[in-house]
Chains A and B, each alone.
Chain A
Amino acid sequence: MKILVSVKRVIDYNVKVRVKSDQSAVDLTNVKMSMNPFCEIAVEEAIRLKEKGVASEVVVVSVGSKSCQETLRTAMALGADRAIQVEAEDGLDSLSVAKLIAKVAQEEAADLVIMGKQAIDSDNNQTGQMVAALLDYPQATFASEIVIENGEAQVTREIDGGLQTLAITLPAVVTTDLRLNEPRFASLPNIMKAKKKPLDVKTSADLGVEVGSNVSIVSVTPPPQRAGGIKVGSVAELVDKLKNEAKVVS
């Protein structure tokens, strides 16, 4: 079984986000970038499936500028076998990214595509579902457990009401939620080895995919700030404030 995993290079989750003064975008100059945490979970799951003997090969793909090769190398240091960079401007829209990933999945004849449920920059939570739709594959989003058996993936999903388990036939798309696994760290020798693993570069033209979107950004602004509150000295004072000042407790 071959697994394709997509990874996205995003602002590190610990970085304090600042909006550019011209309100065109978030300022990413000299900001620490990392692999999107949900993509790390996706890579980890694929590697575990390979270690269990369920998968035979793990291919990682990223859509973006040359800098995303760094993210692909990280994924290979974690255990992915080889990588594909689809060259594109950073911040391409989800549907275009989905078309590119769907095409790679087809060319690779991947049995399972594992993707993060959302990227922590655009917070869209949609690319995996779009890849599945474009390929007419079944999907299981927000996965907290994946069991592969008899050509099927049994996936437990984190939904608003609790947990749901679906069985989907392969090929299929699964997107990861936080509880699926705890990703490992890359060891130094594996980081060195990853430098020698194959990394192919493709363009959207190579894949025969037309990219572009009808959505444009009007502005990006900082969120309204909450006015700071006060510290209360005791539970009694807190209760008094809630009853008589905020009037949210009767």
Chain B
Amino acid sequence: MSVLIIAEHDNKSLKPATLNTVTAATQIDADVHVLVVGFECQTVVEQASQVAGVSKVLVADNAAYEHQLAENVSKLVVEIAGDYGHILAPATTTGKNTLPRVAALLNVAQLSDVIKVESADTFVRPIYAGNAIATVKTTDPVKVLTVRATGFDAAASTGGSAERQVLSQVIASDRSRFVKEQLAESDRPELTAANVIISGGRGMGNGDNFKLLEGIADKLGAAIGASRAAVDAGFVPNDLQVGQTGKTVAPDLYIAVGISGAIQHLAGMKDSKVIVAINKDEDAPIFQVADYGLVADLFDAVPELEKSL
């Protein structure tokens, strides 16, 4: 049976995590459909139709879906679920918000943060902040999974030519209403899609000092991340948090500055290809996962690093 993917998008563009999810889906079944639920989201539909490996794009374009409220999207997905053996979404805050609702309405389990497809019914996922890896098998008639982007390569964004189907159902809950949004504006790459990330922790001391990281980020085309402690202290906004309960990243290069390396932080970044740690405490646990550790005061090392890049 076919696989359905709920596209991650903001009505303007298809988010990269969808491409990794397509790769996971093609490992389950060759027939992969993508559902775009949104409002005035035609460019997203165009982009989704071109993704290699996608045979069909379903479109539900209505004002009721503008903010992809879980109450509405889940019921829409359940209406079409009968055609599918698997329903997938990227393990983003949107996917995690919606997919458990879908599973509960279908009376089946939902497997979170899948990092590997063993077969059409057996999947691998991290538990305990990535300190254990569970392989689980499900005999549910519909298998509902969120997919962790770092576990799968991105499918090619072009080369496909999917057919399109318009869904006319409009499901509009009158019990949930969008009020406002404060989205981070940044010219830098998205944290979860960046090839290079430089993250700051409590050691940065305050929010102003995060400017020290910007020079390096500019030179390397990097995204800026943070530990929970830096977010809790108000140095930077929540969307920068990397870790067990924040974002999971796996860039080619991750530079941790003034971060001790708590397991909850490591859970979000230890699959990075190369890890650099700058910390003045030579016993900081971050050095146990770092390929290159520099024991130094960050206020000396970071400006010097910026100059030498």
Residues of A with Cβ closer than 8 Å to B? 11, 13, 16-17, 19, 26, 38, 93-95, 98, 117-118, 120-134, 137-142, 144, 154, 157-169, 172, 177-179, 213-223, 226, 228-232, 234-236, 238-239, 241-242, 246, 248-249
Contact = CB atoms under 8 A, between A and B. Distances in A.
Interface string B90-109: 00111011111111110111
A94 B109 contact: yes
B309 A249 contact: yes
Contacts of A141: 70, 93, 96-97
Nearest to A230: B292
A232 B292 contact: yes
Given A123-B128, A226-B270, A230-B291, A133 B177 contact: no
Given A167-B177, A214-B140, A11 B128 contact: yes
B196 A239 contact: no
Q: Which of B97, B107, B177 neighbours the largest number of chain A CB atoms within 10 Å of its CB?
A: B97
Given A11-B128, A118-B245, A238-B294, 13 more contacts: A13-B264, A95-B104, A122-B127, A127-B100, A133-B100, A133-B102, A160-B93, A163-B181, A166-B177, A229-B291, A235-B308, A239-B305, A249-B253
B184 A168 contact: no
Q: Which of A38, A126, A239 neighbours the largest number of chain B CB atoms within 10 Å of its CB?
A: A126
A107 B139 CA distance: 32
B153 interface: no
Interface residues on B, range: 35 or more
Nearest to A27: B132
Interface string B78-121: 00000000000000111011111111110111111100000000
Interface in B226-266: 228, 231-232, 237-239, 244-245, 247, 252-253, 263-264
Interface stretch (B53-61, B162-170, B205-213, B272-280): B272-280
Give the dominant DSSP class at B's interface. mixed
B109 A179 contact: no
Contact of B140 (A140, A164, A166, A215): A215
Interface stretch (B24-32, B34-42, B44-52, B282-290): B282-290
Contacts of B308: 235-236, 239
Contact of B127 (A26, A128, A229): A26
Nearest to B141: A214
Given A139-B70, A235-B305, A178 B245 contact: yes
A229 B104 contact: no
Contacts of A215: 109, 111, 136-138, 140
A21 to B, nearest CB: 13
B179 to A, nearest CB: 4
B131 interface: yes
A208 to B, nearest CB: 16
Contacts of B309: 239, 249
Contact of B96 (A125, A164, A166, A234): A125
B203 interface: no
Given A217-B135, A235-B305, A26 B128 contact: yes
A160 B239 contact: yes
B274 A242 contact: yes
Contacts of A130: 100-101, 103-104, 110
A91 to B, nearest CB: 11
